[in-house]
Chain A
Amino acid sequence: MILYLGSSRDRVYRRFVAELERSGLPFAIVDEDEAVRYTIDFGAGAWRISGGGCEGSRPVGSVFVRHAVARTLDPAVAGPMSRLQIALNRMLLETSCPVVNPPARAYSNYSKPFQLRLLAEAGFDVPMTLITNVPEEALRFHHELQGRVIFKGVSNMMSFAQTWKEEHFTRVGLLPNSPTQFQEFVEGVDYRVHVVGEEAFVTRLTASNEDYRRSALADQEEITAEPAALAPEVIERSIRFTQSLGLVVGGLDFKESATGRLVALELNPFPQFTFYEGRSGQPISRAIVDYLARHQVEETNLYA
């Protein structure tokens, strides 16, 4: 049986559950938005999840995880969710089942400049980058790159990349309040590479904004997403890089300039793949379900 740990409010949920149903494989769901319904016990060498449709007795062969995000600071909601996720993460640390993806291995994009170091060491071309809280350093970087600079968040807190425009000069003085990531602006085509085990799906994206997510999520503009191809060595490197982080699934973002320079921007360990497959038609959910089905273990220490 496949176990899905996630949130019924997550955009991935409906499509992924439909894919699990289509597969005909048995599966169980822990809906973390309904955290109080579940109990997790460990005893006699086995983990057991009960409640909310989980019986604590059916052997689990593989696990898919997309933890819920607390949408409120209300302790009555956030508290039980947090406690459930702590218990689940501890369970995932010790389960003998394959986990897609293990939360403990999925931290690298919390610090984007740290992940950039890993990408550079893996052989990817990465954009020139500055992290600073010093206004003069940001201005120098802007000057050196003749104004072709974007800025974006350093952590994985939701933020959009923006090109540095004239009106942003007045905001540079605020930098001591919060460090910011500045990067050379590589103008060109966006690619998202979804790695699933040894497979990869390349999607080319076209949007009016420098950050296509802004077009889709903030400006409510339609973006174009279509299947594409990248050089085999890029695909191979993407797969190995994902695996080197201890992940099965990864969403790598690339930008290709008009001169053919391909820069790696980041890897998302919990990509919202349904956003892409809903537009490009690429069977990413199916590939993940197939992976989970193929890699189920017979001898398990997890029951739901």
Chain B
Amino acid sequence: MLLICGSTDDRLVQELMSEARRVGLPTELLTETMLFASCPFALRRQGNSVHGFLQRDGQRLDLDALRGVFLRLPRNWWPSADFDLSDRFFVYHETLASWFALLDSLRCPVINRFGLGWWLQDITYSLGLRTSLARALCLQISALEEPDLQAGWPRRSPRAPEVDVVSVYRSGGVTVSVAEAQDVVRHLAASEQALSQWERESGITLSRMDFDRRSGLRLKWVDVSPKVDTEPQDLVHGIATAAIRGVLAGRRAAA
């Protein structure tokens, strides 16, 4: 069973479901609200032993039966207005902390295994990832158009439209790109070992990397929840295919 947590409006979710169907992998789609507000679960720990289940339509799904999980959560869930404000805060954090622990405990691939900074929408999480990725790729960080950190978390963005910026996707351990990004693809191939290690350590195996090539290649940004709405269909298909292949191969992105 492949669990996809996201929205059917998301083109990548549509493509993942389609590709999973094609290879005969049963899927279950949970929206963010379903996941956080109405999905019964249990997680037990005794020493280093852990087990648990999710419940869907009255059926128990053992956590060990999951082949993979895709997290494409918009992160705008908020508990019911039936609670007063302080209770909503409490329920929000209790729910997130629980699901983080449950997903962390899974032995199957979780794409992506975001750190707690992502769950808490801490902008320094993205900055830290960019710094560590630049180091892994032996690249400098581009000073081009910094995200507006004061305005809050950089939301999922479409592929960078700037002329001097080129973007590629990483999915399931491979680089998926458009034709004009061959210089970036070559650089990533030459850094494959370091890049794979970064993916293992960060838990990020699905991302869009933006590069500035105005004066040599520089890393501009790494988007760990990339929006693909405006991408060509073959590119989205390539990302989904690589991701499903990665799941089937049991690629674990755990740190």
Per-residue CB contact flags for chain B residues 128-142 toward chain A (1 = under 8 Å, else 0) read 100100000000000
Complex Cα spacing A129 to B93, Å: 19
Complex Cα spacing A126 to B117, Å: 25
CB of B89, distance to nearest CB on chain A (Å): 7
CB of A19, distance to nearest CB on chain B (Å): 28
* Docked-complex contact A110 and B120, CB < 8 angstroms: yes
Per-residue CB contact flags for chain A residues 83-118 toward chain B (1 = under 8 Å, else 0) read 100110110011000000001100110111110110
Contact of A132 with B by CB under 8 A: yes
List chain A residues, Cβ under 8 A from B124: 86, 89-90, 93, 103-104
* Docked-complex contact B48 and A131, CB < 8 angstroms: no
Known contacts A129-B44, A180-B94: A154-B117 contact under CB 8 Å: no
List chain A residues, Cβ under 8 A from B104: 111, 114, 117
* Docked-complex contact B125 and A131, CB < 8 angstroms: no
* Docked-complex contact A73 and B85, CB < 8 angstroms: yes
List chain B residues, Cβ under 8 A from A131: 41-43, 98, 101-102
* Docked-complex contact A133 and B123, CB < 8 angstroms: no
List chain A residues, Cβ under 8 A from B116: 107-108, 110-111, 114
List chain A residues, Cβ under 8 A from B102: 131
Contact of B154 with A by CB under 8 A: no
Known contacts A157-B89, A157-B93: A129-B45 contact under CB 8 Å: yes
CB of A192, distance to nearest CB on chain B (Å): 22
List chain B residues, Cβ under 8 A from A134: 40-42, 55
Q: Which of B44, B48, B89, B125 contacts A104 (CB 8 A)?
A: B125
Contact of A137 with B by CB under 8 A: yes
Contact of B61 with A by CB under 8 A: no
List chain A residues, Cβ under 8 A from B117: 104, 107
Complex Cα spacing A34 to B102, Å: 39
Complex Cα spacing A237 to B115, Å: 24
Complex Cα spacing A156 to B122, Å: 16
Contact of B77 with A by CB under 8 A: no
Complex Cα spacing A219 to B44, Å: 32
Contact of B95 with A by CB under 8 A: yes
Q: What is the number of contacts between chain A and chain B, taking CB atoms within 8 Å?
A: 129
Contact of B105 with A by CB under 8 A: yes
Per-residue CB contact flags for chain B residues 47-65 toward chain A (1 = under 8 Å, else 0) read 1101000010000000000
Complex Cα spacing A107 to B128, Å: 14
- Identity of the chain A residue whose Cβ is nearest the Cβ of B131 in the assembled complex: A93
Known contacts A90-B149, A111-B100, A157-B93: A130-B127 contact under CB 8 Å: no
Known contacts A131-B102, A134-B55: A178-B91 contact under CB 8 Å: yes
List chain A residues, Cβ under 8 A from B90: 153, 157, 159, 178
CB of B136, distance to nearest CB on chain A (Å): 17
Known contacts A107-B116, A108-B116, A131-B102: A179-B47 contact under CB 8 Å: no
CB of A120, distance to nearest CB on chain B (Å): 5
Complex Cα spacing A137 to B98, Å: 15
* Docked-complex contact B150 and A117, CB < 8 angstroms: no
CB of A39, distance to nearest CB on chain B (Å): 12
List chain B residues, Cβ under 8 A from A133: 40-41, 98
Per-residue CB contact flags for chain B residues 75-107 toward chain A (1 = under 8 Å, else 0) read 000000001010001110111111011101100
Complex Cα spacing A125 to B48, Å: 9
Contact of B215 with A by CB under 8 A: no
Contact of A121 with B by CB under 8 A: yes
Contact of A170 with B by CB under 8 A: no
List chain A residues, Cβ under 8 A from B131: 93-94
Complex Cα spacing A141 to B101, Å: 19
Known contacts A104-B125, A133-B41, A176-B40: A117-B105 contact under CB 8 Å: yes
- Identity of the chain B residue whose Cβ is nearest the Cβ of A113 in the assembled complex: B101
Contact of B230 with A by CB under 8 A: no
CB of B35, distance to nearest CB on chain A (Å): 12
Complex Cα spacing A87 to B104, Å: 29
* Docked-complex contact A179 and B95, CB < 8 angstroms: yes
* Docked-complex contact B120 and A132, CB < 8 angstroms: no
Q: Which of A103, A129, A154, A177 contacts B97 (CB 8 A)?
A: A154
22 contacts between A and B (CB under 8 A): A73-B85, A90-B123, A110-B93, A113-B101, A114-B104, A117-B101, A120-B45, A121-B48, A125-B47, A126-B47, A128-B44, A130-B42, A132-B43, A133-B41, A133-B98, A153-B90, A155-B96, A156-B93, A176-B40, A178-B90, A178-B91, A180-B94
5 tightest A-B CB contacts, nearest first? A155-B97, A113-B101, A107-B116, A155-B93, A132-B42
List 18 additional contacts besides A126-B45, A176-B40; criterion CB under 8 Å. Answer: A83-B150, A86-B150, A87-B150, A89-B124, A93-B127, A94-B131, A103-B124, A111-B97, A113-B43, A120-B45, A129-B46, A131-B41, A131-B43, A131-B98, A133-B98, A141-B44, A156-B97, A178-B94
